[in-house]
Structure 1
């Protein structure tokens, strides 16, 4: 039995499967403060419950919120029909927006679970070995740091709570602690985690937090807060482990991804207890999906050609066959026109102008048959408005087994590739990005997918920064990093302010390309890495998404109004 597969129900499951002596010691609604966490078994059960906090499923859509945040950036969109996109992307949010309250509650509930272990663990310290005690404490501290990272990145200054709030009067008088103080606190905690967690786990413990994951989290937090020396040192600590990149990029996001050493923190699911609906929300209409999440043209354009040059520069780029001779991560991340996936030909362009009412599918008998092409004929943005769907993290087995609403495919929250990218960026910001750093980080990542490495001496400082940031964009695309990256780079106000988003190539232009030899112009890329086309409104369908980002307000979310009504000592962020 793999640990994290059962993590969301393990605490309750263990409680009711360990005999009458456990039922005598535990009230039905909560563990007893006097008798719990006295033995190694109880400590194990208690810290297992803390892992529940890694599961953050988003309301009715039932998808993990962290990777979904990328669809509130330039990497994709949540289509504007039915329920509107993320409210903070178009300036319609305020302190009463329910999503912020849900996030605040989720993080503090997870912190409370960790705090319970941290506070009560000393009760049984004499009953276990020091090594075991420190390991359990380290697991709890890691989880608390993980949730405080998101709280501080999203809300800024927040209350620092390091014990269980038994006294309601104390809870009602909480004040916001500075982000810098909280960051320093959790970085110190992570030092303890690095020192007291094993570098890897095996057997039934596979999936627990390791010292490498602790170093990776420390590196991420330090990078997010501009502490580049700390970020580089923490990343280097992780790089000194035996962890290596997987040889197969696409395989990282399969149903069996929890078994891949590169994936350092993974949320696993179990069909009988907790699943998610990402293939339903993000999937093709022809594959039983709703197509709510759709990657952007700008993301697709960010993947370089196999010679390492952008599509604005490379002689290998063919506008008539734009998905050939490209970084293989593109087709591993995006479902593109002409790909076969889950026995379906993804066909979104009417090349001969005949209406494109059919596409091809391999049926249960193995025969290739024609079916109605819903990806082309659905009205407006209900079809694929951008011309792409997400492939990364959507397992064919979930579609073929008719489990699009009950997917068991894991959600990856940390990969070793992120550690390498953190080291590269931190060293660049420190003025220490040389060829040895490039070869140990970005060039290793590019080599995995068959791309040539970066020759540092051939690029200016601005060009190197753009290369490092684009590598981070495409390697970690749709995994939940972009929203935080464009905020910390202070580029969100430039990237997320526009009146529309370009979508698929217009039908008459497609016919002109394939019937009359018209060649689509190449894009140019601005200083923020966003592609632009000449006369793009004449070439592409216009998606009516208005992005609004107020730099005086939107770098932070508002403190939820309901929290401030209960705890009047909480101040509000600027602009709300």
Structure 2
């Protein structure tokens, strides 16, 4: 048995690829003599900075696993719902090299000849990264082995079984508590400080508290409350510090967008931690323009569009015929965040003088994403936009959600949290009594597990999270912790067209495109019809999926929403909230058992 080296052993013994410093690149960490290296604060800083891992602008592409977008990518959860997944087909995620790097530091940092405060700061940073590592593993596998130290090749713990989720979570909470109490406030730009540590603590505690509340298969509902209390304690500290505030210059049509198109977060006090990009300094490019905007790989869903409220605070979906409104009508009098997240009728791309006409294509919704799209012709600027890793907006929404979930939310709480975000957008405030008196029936159908006296406001807070964090990569974890995986069974749809014919796409009342029948030929360029502005109409063949057309409509030539796929999706509960341990790992370590029906 010892002659077989499991992947987990290799991961725990080899250096992860995250280290960026030359010294750590040249010498594997298991070859570093702790007596020679861990001597000074410089050594501790060098090592811990090599562990730096921040979310970046790829997050703008991370809602592909959710109901916020359609996608043509090979997304794991989509493949699971339409296929026959097993431990032999789902083989990613069981990687442990980064944990070994972190634990090696924690095993040796005390050797440094520095004062305790210095040791505690760097240990806090390492424990922050270990908590971050296990946050991902818990979300994917639930029960996982807990390793609190770097292991040698003959350590029997390499062949241990999974540890129970509750035990692993308690260890993560201990790491986060230590980090929140010992990481410094003043740190180099682009690295986590004490407020970032508190944000991760709050995010994880909210995740675990709501996950336990809504997932009966864990049999941990009775313990959910203490995690909600922990989340509240951390965000209260952040709110009471007075160091952060919602970015609001009184420009509701642009303030929100400014958070995602900044080259310097130093002037935006809403950003608790930012990931700085500077293409000219070789830190990598922030630009995903070719993927975010248009019809490459992803497109926002109509379900997301319908989530936004009207500008007067009323529900878009309460209006008669809302589901038959066309693109130019959908954007009228809506929450201003919508037109700062999605391309609106009349949007003009940099370098052009006329409004952009939405490009339609197979398997895409027709809607285009603006968040994460940098509207400039300067590649250096597009590649140097910073990413907000933690925003004060999340602090406020964690506060509101945790208070609502534990049944203590008041109107004052809403005014100190959600309504600050609504004020930035020029939206009316959320009213506690009104929300609970008349819960949104469509939201209630989406989230049938939400019950009790706070039902209406919990649903509205969930709407607020979806809107505020749309296309930033939050949605999948939210759906999983809320036990709402069944929402992923609905195939994302796109714009509504009542049938074949000419349509205005820029909001000026003049036709820009024409949908023709699948039996017709698109005329030669000089034979195409022009509109009243003298501009040539853009032609598309429209029909049903399977037809030789570009635009797939639900009812073919008779119109309907754009459809992106037709293959039936099945989200198996509770199984698909988790992933199997790869088959090869179980073969190497029979003590690892599959759970929740995985084989």
TM bracket (short chain): 0.7 to 0.9
SS at match of 2:272: strand
Query: Offset at 1:437?
Result: 0.6
Matched, 1:478 2:456: no
Question: Are the equivalent residues in 2 in contact too, given 1:266–1:412 (CA < 8 A)?
Answer: yes
1:250 aligns with 2:236: no
Q: Distance in 1 between matches of 2:357 and 2:499?
A: 14
SS of match in other structure, 2:499? helix
Matches within 5 A, 1:433-512: 433-460=409-436, 461-493=454-486, 495-498=487-490, 500-506=491-497, 508=499, 511=502
Structure 2: distance between partners of 1:478 and 1:257: 21
Distance 1:261 1:89, change over 3 A: farther
Superposition RMSD in Å: 3.4
1:428 offset after TM fit, Å? Answer: 0.5
1:559 matched to 2:581? The reply is yes
Q: Distance in 2 between matches of 1:432 and 1:327?
A: 28
Where do residues 54-93 of structure 1 align in structure 2 (5 Å cutoff)?
54=54, 64=58, 68-79=61-72, 86-93=78-85
> Rg larger in 1 or in 2?
2
**Structure 1 residues 510 and 109: alpha-carbon distance in aligned structure 2, compared to 1, 3 A threshold:** farther
Q: Assess if the C-alpha contact under 8 Å between 2:143 and 2:165 holds in 1.
A: yes
The equivalent of 1:223 in structure 2 is: 206
Change (3 A) 1:466 1:267: same
Query: Aligned-pair distance for 1:155?
Result: 1.3
Report the more deviating stretch, 415-424 or 558-567.
558-567
| SS, match of residue 563 in structure 2 | strand
Match of 1:343 in 2: 351
**Matched-pair contact (CA < 8 Å) for 1:283–1:390:** yes
1:562 Cα deviation from its structure 2 partner: 2.8
What's the secondary structure of 1:557's corresponding residue? coil
Distance 1:40 1:463 in 2: 52
Deviation at 1:431, TM superposition (A): 0.9
Q: Using a 3 Å threshold, how does the CA distance of structure 1 residues 291 and 84 change in structure 2: closer, same or farther?
A: farther
Cα-to-partner distance string for 1:413-437 (whole Å, 9 max, x where unaligned): 3222111111101100111111111
The alpha-carbon deviation at position 490 of structure 1 amounts to: 1.3
Match of 1:419 among 385, 391, 395: 395
Conservation of the 8 A alpha-carbon contact between 1:235 and 1:423: yes
Question: Structure 2: any 5+ residue segments left out of the alignment?
Answer: 1-16, 210-226, 249-254, 437-453, 512-553
Q: Distance in 2 between matches of 1:54 and 1:573?
A: 31
Q: What is residue 48 of structure 2 aligned with on the other side? A: 47
Aligned to 1:280: 290
C-alpha displacement at 1:270, in angstroms? 5.2
**SS of the residue 1:396 aligns to:** coil
Q: 1:305 aligns with which of 310, 317, 340?
A: 310
The answer for the alignment partner of 1:110 in structure 2 is 98
User: 1:551 offset after TM fit, Å?
Assistant: 0.8
Q: Which residue of 1 aligns with 2:520?
A: none
Written as runs of structure 1 = structure 2, the 5 A alignment for 1:17-166 is: 31-51=32-52, 53-54=53-54, 64=58, 68-79=61-72, 86-97=78-89, 100-101=91-92, 103-105=93-95, 108-124=96-112, 127-166=113-152
CA contact (8 A) 2:466 2:475 kept: yes
Asked whether the equivalents of residues 65 and 75 of structure 2 are also in contact (C-alpha less than 8 Å), the reply is no
Please report the TM-score for the alignment, with normalisation by the length of structure 2: 0.73
Report how far residue 568 of structure 1 moved.
2.6
Question: 2:379 matched to which residue of 1?
Answer: 401
Aligned CA distance change for structure 1 residues 157 and 267 (closer, same or farther; 3 Å): farther
User: How much does 1:15 deviate?
Assistant: 6.2
Could you tell me how far apart the structure 2 residues matched to 1:191 and 1:301 are? Answer: 40
How many residues end up aligned between the 2 structures? Answer: 488
CA 1:489–1:571: 2 relative to 1, 3 Å: same
Over 3 Å counting, the alpha-carbon distance change for 1:380 and 1:152 in structure 2 is same
Asked whether the equivalents of residues 287 and 385 of structure 2 are also in contact (C-alpha less than 8 Å), the reply is no
CA contact (8 A) 2:343 2:368 kept: yes
Q: TM-score, normalised by structure 1?
A: 0.76
Is 1:321 aligned to residue 329 of structure 2?
yes
- Deviation, 1:89, is 4.7
The CA distance in 2 between the partners of 1:12 and 1:306, in whole Å, is 50
Instruction: Give the CA deviation at 1:137.
Output: 0.9
For 1:4, the equivalent position in structure 2 comes to: none
Which secondary structure state, in structure 1, belongs to the residue aligned with residue 291 of structure 2?
helix
Unaligned runs of 5+ in 1: 1-7, 17-22, 57-62, 285-289, 350-374, 517-533
Farther-moved stretch of structure 1 (560-569 vs 216-225): 560-569
